[in-house]
Structure formats: structure tokens, C-alpha cells
A = this chain, B = another copy of it.
Amino acid sequence: MLAELISVGTELLMGEIVDSNAAFIAQELKNRGVFIHWKTTVGDNLTRLQEAISRALTRADLVILGGGLGPTDDDLTREAILATIGETPVIDTVYLETLTKWFQSRGRSFPQANTKQAWVSKSTQALPNPVGTAPGWFTTVPNTGKIIVAMPGPPREMKKMFLEQLLPRLSLPQNGFHYTTFRTVGIGESHLAERLGALTQGSNPSIGTYARRDGVHVRVASSAATLIEAEALAAPTELEVRKALSGFIYGTDEQTLPGVILELLRSKGQTLSVIESITGGLIADVLTDTAGSSDAFQASAVAYSNTAKRHFGVSESTLEQHGAISAQTTRALALEAKTRFGSSWALAATGAADSSLGNTMPAGTLFVSIAKPDGSVVDAALTVAGDRRTMKERAAFFALGALWRELVKT
């Protein structure tokens, strides 16, 4: 079964609000074997909206519209559906009363404009909306039997209506879809693709690679008549992916790199402290995005200025001889963090996030040091590309990746 999405509204078209509904609908439908090939965003314009619906009906069995169900003259979804199927509106008097009461119960008089929210038509059922004024529409197109559905734009209203009203009416088969996302760190998308080689050519299971700020994600997807069969179908490919990317996969699905690191530390009864320069607080920020991080994340400092570096254990001679951005300074910061905060592990990172400010090293230079529980220090270095923010993000996840690699070794 094929579905198609139409998002309605000039605000959406102009990108003034983000269209988060499509993600929810696409995912829920995919899990039930309904695929989406097209999504169209169109403004509040009757002619174009009608054109979009007509075209979608030539390509899909189910057309889902989002938005344009409000009471104003700009809300044209109902009008466009009626024009497409050639029907006229009928007022659902029972719903009109519900609507009138809804306003009364809030101490407001019923605005006449809202009358059209009580419209239905010969081929159209209203979908109740317990959390808003606009009911949805479920229209069976005469002759073809194809379905046009219209739901309100606010995500909370749409989700409830989708799950409670729309899905039961569609009677879709149980799903036989299986997904695993392998999350990697320390390898770029092209080199990862080379390692995967012919594996990426398959269509069921299929493999997709996605560059994210925390590293490249590799998703294996399979479909079969049942979920168990889909899992069995994916298993050999997942094993191949694990082998091909051995040493780079830190987790699967919803696991995050900070989360995996904190869990490793917790399982060992160990703690971590951090002194960051180039990443300017971002390493601490992503670590503390994980609930309960204070169990293992002892403390951190941002030693951005040279004054701060001196305060955090970098000697004048190290700064003079090697500079603020150097393996030596980074090592001194890692050792200081371990000692000062009394943690089992310590991580430090220095680097240049831009080239314009008297940095001694070129932009993108990055040094990472990891002080280990046995007192030894491991260093890593990299050149990162991108703008200031991207460099900070790449540096933070490279540093955490290096730490993760040491943690899994011990």
C-alpha cells in the first residue's frame, strides 16, 4: 500500500514552523507496511491544494493531509477535498452542538466562522478530536475507493487522532519490519562505505548510512511476513556489518556515546572528570544530557583562556615551549583533572576552533589526552573541518570516541 503526505500551510512552506508530523506518520505507517514516496508542502491556496490532492490520488491509495482545518478563510483543506471529489458540504448538527458547548464551557460565544468545522459530506466521516476544535476528515473517494484523510496540524491533536481514529479505520496488517541502527565513532562515511562494500547493495535487508554529529549511523532494515522472519532475514547481514565495522560500533538503536561511556564507567565502579578547552563545555554538556550522569561524571572544567590553563595545572614552561594547543598542554590538563577531582579517568581536549585569534596552530587542530586509572596517559590527535560549531561537535565526539576505545580495552 502506498500513502502520500500533503502538508498544508504557508507557514510550513516558508519554513516558519517545522513539520514534525510527517516523521510520526511516516514511521507509524512504515511499521505497518505502508510506504510513502512523496511529500508535498503547499500554501493556503485552494487551486494548488486541489491540484496536490488530485496528483497524489494518481500515485497513492491513501492521501493524508495535515493542517488547514482551522476556522478561518485561510483554512482550505475541507474546500479542496470537496472540490476534488465534487461534493458539497453538509452541517453535522450533532457536532455543531458539541462545538457550541465547547466554546460555552470556556465562557466564550460560538464564533460563526467555526461552523465549517462541523461540515461533513456524502463520502466524508468526521474524525473526533477530543483535544481541539477541528475534527479530522475521512473521505472515501467515490468509484476508486481510495482514501483521503485530513488531520489538524498541532502534533498532539494529530497523533491522538492518527492512533485512535485513523488506524482502526484502515485495518492494516501486522508489521513484519525490523530495524537495527549501528552507531559508530571514529570513521568517516566514505571509508565506512568502503568497509561495507557490496553489503550496501542489498535491498532486503537494505543498509543505509547517515552522518550524524555523534558519528555515522548504519541502519539495517528488513521486511517479511512476520517480525520474527524479518529479524531472521536481517541477522546474517547484521553480523557482517558488525564484523566489517568492528572497533567502530559503540552501540545500537537509541544508545548514545555519552550514555555508553557512563554505563561502562558505572559497571566498573569508576568515575570520569574532564578539562576541556576547544570544546568549551560541550563534552560536559553531552555527558550531562544523560539522566543519572552524576554517578560517574565527577566534575569538569573549561580552561579556555591561558589564565585558566595555568590554574588547571599547565606550567608556564609547557605553555611557553609547546603552546596552549599542544599534546603536552593537553596531557598536563588530563593529569590535573584526574588528580584534582580524584576520578578514575580524565579526559582533556585542546585545539583551535578558528584561525583568526592569535592561535598558534591552524584551525581544526585537535589534541586529546586520556589519563587512565593506572596513571598512564594516551594521546590522540586529529584535524577537524567545518565552522566553529561543527569543529566543537566533531572534537567533542572524537574525544569521547577515543575515551570509549580505551574504556572497552580495560
Binding site for B on A (CB under 8 A): 10-11, 13-20, 22-27, 30, 36-43, 45, 48, 52, 70-74, 105-108, 111, 113-114, 131, 156, 188-191, 193-194, 200-201, 208-210, 274, 279-289, 291-294, 297-305, 307-308, 311-312, 340-342, 353-354, 356-357, 383, 385-390, 392
Contacts and interface: CB of A to CB of B under 8 A. Distances in A.
Contact of A131 (B209, B301, B385): B385
B311 A307 contact: no
A15 B11 contact: no
A389 B27 CA distance: 23
Nearest to A41: B39
A283 B356 CA distance: 23
Given A73-B201, A281-B288, A299-B302, 17 more contacts: A15-B19, A15-B26, A16-B208, A72-B193, A106-B385, A107-B383, A111-B193, A280-B289, A281-B287, A285-B285, A288-B392, A289-B392, A291-B388, A297-B305, A299-B304, A299-B308, A301-B302
B291 A280 contact: no
B36 A13 contact: yes
A363 B121 CA distance: 35
B16 A30 contact: no
A395 to B, nearest CB: 11
A289 B40 contact: no
Given A37-B48, A284-B281, A301 B301 contact: yes
A283 B23 CA distance: 30
Given A210-B16, A281-B302, A48 B38 contact: yes
A387 B293 contact: no
Contacts of A20: 15, 18
B30 A38 contact: no
A88 to B, nearest CB: 24
